[in-house]
Chains A and B, each alone.
Chain A
Amino acid sequence: MPDVDRAAEAVARAEYGRLRAFLASEYGDVHDAEDALGEALLAALTSWPDTGIPNEPAAWLLTVARHRLLDRARRRGVRDGHAHAVRTLGAEAPAPAPALDETFPDRRVELLFVCAHPAIDAELHAPLMLQAVLGLTAARIAQAFLVSPAAMGQRLVRAKKRIREAGIAFQVPSAGELPARLGSVLEAIYGAYGLGHDAPAGLDAPGTDLTDEALWLARVVRDRMPEQPEVRGLLALMLFCDARRDARHSPDGRYVPLSEQDPATWSAPKIDEAEAELAEAARAGRIGRFQLEAAIQSAHVEGARSGDTDWGAIALFYDHLVRLAPTIGARVAQAAAVAEAAAPERGLALLDALDESAVGTYQPYWAVRAHLLRLLERGPEASVAYGRAIGLTEDPAVRRFLLDRQNEAPAPVEIGMPRTPSG
């Protein structure tokens, strides 16, 4: 019995995304495809103990799931008069054991394009991908995106309904549409990594606990579209960040900023893979946002290893990046880089130029601002900025790090001066 469970599970894990993507694209309905596949898995668990594990378990599941979809379409056809789906499905009635390669093409990338379609709310692109392609539960996705599990479940159901009602085509967009549509897919994968559009590029970012899933999705797209340099750029960027993840905390749980990390604690294989992807991307000769961000990471790695970071080059990369993608994260990180490359005043001027409403609750802005004010020996202002950053921090280790910095940030001019009763 456990053997059967294991076999069903193994198939589910290895083939789940492909099965689901294929069924959804064949039927045009992500929700029904999920349900049918779930029913097929249940059928496997009840019948395989008697019949034995079939030679082609994935094909077996596909056949059962198709039958369920056909039943469902018939019922819906009777109820709603939607005969079309029945005809479509009936025309390719499932064979008992279809040859996998012919009947079961990999449509996962098509499904990713559906999930990141402009008709779907951009905030749901990443959650949809994680559920539709990887089979993550709404509750698990809700944790990472800090949303109520019930609300996430409802949003996903609504988004899937929208896919069906809007009749979004399960296909790779045409050449003209591709750059923008692929951008949405990559942005969503980046969001799943926990580094959404407002993440502090180049600064040390925590990531969600879905980093492996995001890397996996990026590899699925890379394998299918190896000629797209931005896909490789994104993969390289995430690998660079991932390589340093464990170095963010010391063994006793303290936060260690990038500038104080020991490169020996980084994952060399991940960095090597990132460098290889970035080099391959560069061969296409088409620069893009993710390649630039990966190049910045590469410069940081090189600098930490050699002990001599080329801040001029990094500032230049940011200059390009901000022109391509003027996100708040990129602009804050640019200010930090310019402060290092030129002078803290120059970095501070860039921060001052940002729209106040965009930075009010943006923690990296206040952390960088506090750091620059501290370098400029503007102690009281630095302390206020540290306070804002601390209040906006989620990671307790970062909070403690910032509190320590705030405590050691007295301005020299204040030393020996009497304290005013009400600052």
Chain B
Amino acid sequence: MKYVMLIYETPEDFEARDAAGGEPYVAAWRAYYRALVDAGVFVGGGGPLAGPDAATTVQVKANRRHVQDGPFAVAKDQLGGFMILELASHDDALAWAARCPAAATGAVEVRPMNVALHRTIVEADA
């Protein structure tokens, strides 16, 4: 069985991750990542996401597109999975999000990856 870990962080943690004073939190992440790799259970992952303020949510309802800045937040709909796509631009990402079957019934949230943070966590381990 494979499991996907979906990580929900507090606004404080989001702020701490990129700030100079966030070292304890990021260090804990390095240790956690290391433990996962050492245990041989780490299969793969997208690395940390940029914060919710970088999110854009796309829905197509009754043939009308709805695009909103910010994460999708409706209690009824649940996160059903995630994909990582390599695309040239944010506009392209929204185009693919609109084509996703889930966009017509639920929502697809698009977020750029926080590549720099991912590197500091993964490279520290290398």
Binding site for B on A (CB under 8 A): 142-144, 146-151, 206, 209, 249, 391-397, 399
Binding site for A on B (CB under 8 A): 56, 58, 60, 63-69, 90-91, 94-95, 98-99, 101, 103-105
- Minimum distance in angstroms from B102 CB to a CB of chain A: 11
Q: Check B94 against A392 for contact (C-beta < 8 Å).
A: no
Q: Check A150 against B69 for contact (C-beta < 8 Å).
A: yes
Q: Check B65 against A143 for contact (C-beta < 8 Å).
A: yes
Q: Check B99 against A393 for contact (C-beta < 8 Å).
A: yes
Q: Check A151 against B90 for contact (C-beta < 8 Å).
A: yes
A148 to B60, CA, bound (A): 14
A-B pairs, 3 with minimum CB distance: A396-B104, A148-B56, A394-B98
Give the contacting residue for B67; candidates A149, A209, A249; CB below 8 A.
A149
- Minimum distance in angstroms from B85 CB to a CB of chain A: 12
A148 to B105, CA, bound (A): 20
Known: A148-B90, A394-B60, A396-B104. Is A143-B67 also a contact (CB below 8 A)?
Answer: yes
Known: A392-B99, A393-B99. Is A147-B67 also a contact (CB below 8 A)?
Answer: yes
Q: Which residues of B are found within 8 Å of A151, using beta-carbon distances?
A: 90-91
- Minimum distance in angstroms from A29 CB to a CB of chain B: 27
**Residue in A closest to B60 when the chains form the complex, CB atoms:** A394
Q: Check B67 against A146 for contact (C-beta < 8 Å).
A: yes
Known: A391-B99, A399-B101. Is A146-B94 also a contact (CB below 8 A)?
Answer: yes
Q: Which residues of B are found within 8 Å of A399, using beta-carbon distances?
A: 101, 104
Q: Which residues of B are found within 8 Å of A397, using beta-carbon distances?
A: 63
- Minimum distance in angstroms from B123 CB to a CB of chain A: 30
A142 to B66, CA, bound (A): 9
Known: A148-B90, A391-B99. Is A396-B67 also a contact (CB below 8 A)?
Answer: no
A393 to B95, CA, bound (A): 10
Provide a sorted-by-A list of 8 A–B residue pairs whose CB atoms are within 8 angstroms: A146-B58, A148-B56, A148-B69, A209-B64, A396-B101, A396-B105, A397-B63, A399-B104
* Given A144-B65, A148-B56, A397-B63, 8 other A-B residues pairs in contact with their CB atoms under 8 A: A146-B65, A146-B91, A146-B95, A147-B67, A150-B69, A209-B64, A391-B99, A394-B60
A394 to B103, CA, bound (A): 9
Known: A148-B56, A149-B69. Is A395-B63 also a contact (CB below 8 A)?
Answer: yes
- Minimum distance in angstroms from A167 CB to a CB of chain B: 29
Q: Which residues of A are found within 8 Å of B99, using beta-carbon distances?
A: 391-394
Q: Which residues of A are found within 8 Å of B67, using beta-carbon distances?
A: 142-143, 146-149
- Minimum distance in angstroms from B115 CB to a CB of chain A: 19
Q: Check B63 against A206 for contact (C-beta < 8 Å).
A: yes
A249 to B95, CA, bound (A): 23
**Residue in A closest to B61 when the chains form the complex, CB atoms:** A396
- Minimum distance in angstroms from A208 CB to a CB of chain B: 8
Q: Check B94 against A148 for contact (C-beta < 8 Å).
A: yes
- Minimum distance in angstroms from A159 CB to a CB of chain B: 16
Q: Which residues of B are found within 8 Å of A206, using beta-carbon distances?
A: 63
Q: Check B63 against A149 for contact (C-beta < 8 Å).
A: no
- Minimum distance in angstroms from B53 CB to a CB of chain A: 10
- Minimum distance in angstroms from B54 CB to a CB of chain A: 10
Q: Which residues of B are found within 8 Å of A391, using beta-carbon distances?
A: 99
Q: Check B60 against A396 for contact (C-beta < 8 Å).
A: yes
- Minimum distance in angstroms from B59 CB to a CB of chain A: 10
Q: Check A146 against B98 for contact (C-beta < 8 Å).
A: yes
Q: Which residues of A are found within 8 Å of B94, using beta-carbon distances?
A: 146-148
Q: Which residues of B are found within 8 Å of A148, using beta-carbon distances?
A: 56, 67, 69, 90, 94
**Residue in B closest to A395 when the chains form the complex, CB atoms:** B63
Give the contacting residue for B91; candidates A144, A147, A392; CB below 8 A.
A147
Q: Which residues of A are found within 8 Å of B68, using beta-carbon distances?
A: 149
Q: Which residues of A are found within 8 Å of B58, using beta-carbon distances?
A: 146
- Minimum distance in angstroms from B98 CB to a CB of chain A: 5
**Residue in A closest to B63 when the chains form the complex, CB atoms:** A395
- Minimum distance in angstroms from A294 CB to a CB of chain B: 24
- Minimum distance in angstroms from B24 CB to a CB of chain A: 32
Q: Which residues of A are found within 8 Å of B105, using beta-carbon distances?
A: 396
A147 to B58, CA, bound (A): 9
Q: Which residues of A are found within 8 Å of B65, using beta-carbon distances?
A: 143-144, 146
**Residue in A closest to B104 when the chains form the complex, CB atoms:** A396
A394 to B101, CA, bound (A): 8
A308 to B67, CA, bound (A): 42
- Minimum distance in angstroms from B89 CB to a CB of chain A: 10
- Minimum distance in angstroms from A288 CB to a CB of chain B: 30
A146 to B90, CA, bound (A): 10
- Minimum distance in angstroms from B70 CB to a CB of chain A: 10
A150 to B57, CA, bound (A): 12
